Structure 1
C-alpha cells in the first residue's frame, strides 16, 4: 500500500497501525483535550433550553428536539462515519470534522429560529464524532505496554467533557447568554483543529474496502469476534445504569423533599467527574493485570454503588445528599474503568479494524444509554427513585454476569 504524502508543515511522519512508540505527555494531553471538547459539544444545549426557548420564541416541547437531534446525529455519525477511519487517513478525517463542527456551532449560535437551530444541532452531533476518531488514534500511536494507560487518559478527557459540559454551559448562559456558549465552543474546536493539523501525524489506511463493504463489515466483526460481543453487551448494560441515573437526577432533586434547582444537579456532575479522573489508573491496571480483572471489578463496583443508592430514601436529607455524591463517584469510576478495559480488549482483536471495532462498542453503548434514559423516566414517574436505582443495579449485575460467564 502506498504511503500518504506528508504536509510541509512540521508534523510527525506517517504511521501505520502497527507502528507505535512512547508518546510525549503533550501529545496525550492534546488528544484528551480534543476528545473532551468535541464530545462536550453534544451537551452544551441541555442546561440552556429554558433560556433558549424564550429567546427564539419556541415552546419547551419543541426546543426539547435540540438535544434529541444532537444525540441522533452523534449516533448516526458513529455508525456511518467512524468506520471511515480504517479506510482513509484519520488525520484528514479529523480536520474535516473539526471544520464542520466549528461551522455547525457558529450556525447554532447565530440561529434566528428553531428551524435553523435544529439542523445545526443534527450537524453538531454528526461532526462531534471527532472524539471517536481521536480514541483509535491514541490506541494506534501508543506502545503496546502503555496502550491501556494512554487510552485511559484520553478517555478521561472525553468523559470529563461529558460531565462538565452541562455545568460550564449553565454558568456561561446565565452570565453571557446562550449564544455565547456556542461561540466559545466554536473557538475551542478551532484551536483543537489547528493543533491536530500541526502535531498529529498522518495515518496510512488499513483497508481498501469500499464504503458499503466497510459498513457491512461491522456485522461481520460482530459475528466473528466473541470478545467484541461480550465487551459491547457488557458495556451497553453498564451504560443503561449510567444513563438512568444522570437522566433522572435533576428531576428527582427538583421534586420533594429536596426542591433543588438545575445548579444542584450540575454540582453532582462534578462528583461524577471525580470518578472519571481515575480512568488512567484503570488503563494502567488493564495493562498490568489484564482487562478481564478490571471489567469485572468495574461492573461489581457499579452494581454496589447503585444498590447503596437505592437505600438513600430511607435516610435523612443531608445523608441522602452525601450518599448521592459518593454513589456518583463510585459507579462512575466503575463504568469508566470497565469502558477503558473493554477498549483494551477490542483494540487487541484486529489493529487494522480499530475504528470499526470502536464504532461497534460505542453504538451498543448509545443503545444502552437511550434505553436507560427512557425506562428510567417511566420508572421514576410510576415507582420513584428507588425503582430507578434498583433498575440500574440490575443492569450492572447483568453486565457482571456477562463478564464472568465463560
Structure 2
C-alpha cells in the first residue's frame, strides 16, 4: 500500500469515527439497496416498457443502457463532491432528486421523457456510492471492514433482488407501478435519513474542476486503487456476462423456462450478500490476501460449473451462487484496501474504483449476446473464466508477494 499523493491524509482521524451503530448501519444498508436497485428494475421489464411506449424490440435494451450511462455520470461528477461538501446535505439532496425522477419515470408519457427520466434516475442513484464512504469515515479503523461489509450487504441485496422483484410486481402493478413503488421506498428512507443521518464536513478545500481533474491522477498514481479496480473490473465483467447470458439459454431448449422461472433462477444470486459481511471481518483481521485469492478463484470455478450447465440446470444454478459469492467478497476486500489510502479523499477513491469496475461490467454485458450467438455457450464460459483467471495470476505472482 502506498502513501497518498494528496495532502490531508491525516486530516480526518478516528476521533470522528465513533458515531456509527447497528441502527445507522442498517439505515445505510437499506438506503444503498433501495438506490442501487433502481438500475436493475428495468432489465426484466424492457419488453413491457417497449410495448407500452412504442419502442422497437431491437432498441429495448437501450433503456437499461441509459440508466447505466447515468450511473457512470453520477460516479464521476457527483460522488467526488462528498470530499468537499457536507455529506448529509449532499446525500439527502441527491436522494430527493432520485425520488422526483422515479415519479417522473412512472408517469412518462413518451419515449423522450422516458429516456430523460431514466438517465436522471441513473445519475441520482449514485447516492448509494456517497453513503458507503460516509460509513467508512464514521467507522472506527478496527471495524471499518465489517461496517463496509454490512452496508454492502444492503446494496448488493438491492441489486440482486431488483430483477425478480420487478418481474413479480409487474404482473400486478405494471412496470410504471414498479418505479412508483421504488419512489415510495426511497422517499421513506429519505424521511428517516432526515432524522438520523449524521452530518460530516470534509476538510479538503478544492474547487470542483480541480476535484474532478484529480480522479485520473489518483488512478495513475495509486497502484493499490488501480490494481483493485482492475481486479474487480474482471470480476464484474464475468458477473455481468454470466447474468446476461444465462437467462438467454434458460429461455431456450432444453429448459424452455418462463419469465417467472427465470426470475426465480436469478434469486440464486441473493446468496452472494452473505459474502460481504464475512469478507469485511476477514479483512479487518488481516486476511485480505487469502480472501482475495479465494474470491477470484470462485469466479473461475463458477464458469467451470456453468460449462456443464448448457443442458443441465443444477450446475448453472450452483454457478450463479458461486460467482455472486466471489464477486461480492472481492468487492469488499477491494473497498477495505482503498479506504485505507487516505481518509480525506474516500469519495474520490470510491468514485474511481466503482467507475473502473463498472466499465468492466458494461463490457461483460455487451459481449454476452455476440459471444453466445456467434460462438456458443462454451465461448461464454471461456471468456468468463479467462478474465478473473488473469487477475488471479497477476495477484498471486505480483501483488500478493508485495503485501
TM-score w.r.t. length of structure 2: 0.93
Counterpart of 1:255 in structure 2 is 252
Secondary structure at the residue paired with 1:399? Answer: helix
- Cα 1:311–1:97 change in 2 (3 A) is same
Secondary structure at the residue paired with 1:47? Answer: helix
Counterpart of 1:295 in structure 2 is 292
Equivalent of 1:170, from 162, 167, 183?
167
Q: Does residue 400 of structure 2 align to residue 403 of structure 1?
A: no
In terms of mean alpha carbon deviation, does 258-267 or 340-349 score higher?
258-267
1:300 deviates by 1.1
Q: Does residue 40 of structure 2 align to residue 48 of structure 1?
A: no
Counterpart of 1:133 in structure 2 is 130
1:222 and 1:183 map into 2 onto residues whose CA distance is 38
Counterpart of 1:7 in structure 2 is none
Counterpart of 1:11 in structure 2 is none
1:189 and 1:101 map into 2 onto residues whose CA distance is 8
2:322 and 2:215 map into 1 onto residues whose CA distance is 33
Segments of structure 2 that go 5 or more residues without pairing to the other structure are 1-10
Is contact 1:17-1:352 (8 Å) kept?
no
Counterpart of 2:108 in structure 1 is 111
Q: Does residue 157 of structure 2 align to residue 191 of structure 1?
A: no
What are the Cα deviations for residues 189-217 of structure 1, in whole angstroms up to 9, with x where unaligned?
A: 11111122211111111311111111111
CA RMSD in angstroms, aligned pairs only: 1.5
Secondary structure at the residue paired with 1:278? Answer: helix
Q: In the comparison of the two structures, how many residue pairs are matched?
A: 387
1:22 deviates by 6.4
1:269 deviates by 1.9
Counterpart of 2:344 in structure 1 is 352
Counterpart of 2:7 in structure 1 is none
1:180 and 1:157 map into 2 onto residues whose CA distance is 23
Secondary structure at the residue paired with 2:373? Answer: helix
Secondary structure at the residue paired with 1:29? Answer: helix
1:389 deviates by 1.5
Written as runs of structure 1 = structure 2, the 5 A alignment for 1:137-148 is: 137-148=134-145
Is contact 2:12-2:343 (8 Å) kept?
no
What are the Cα deviations for residues 309-349 of structure 1, in whole angstroms up to 9, with x where unaligned?
A: 22334xxx5xx211111111111111111110000000000
Is contact 1:98-1:127 (8 Å) kept?
yes
1:347 and 1:390 map into 2 onto residues whose CA distance is 33
Secondary structure at the residue paired with 2:243? Answer: helix
Is contact 1:241-1:395 (8 Å) kept?
yes
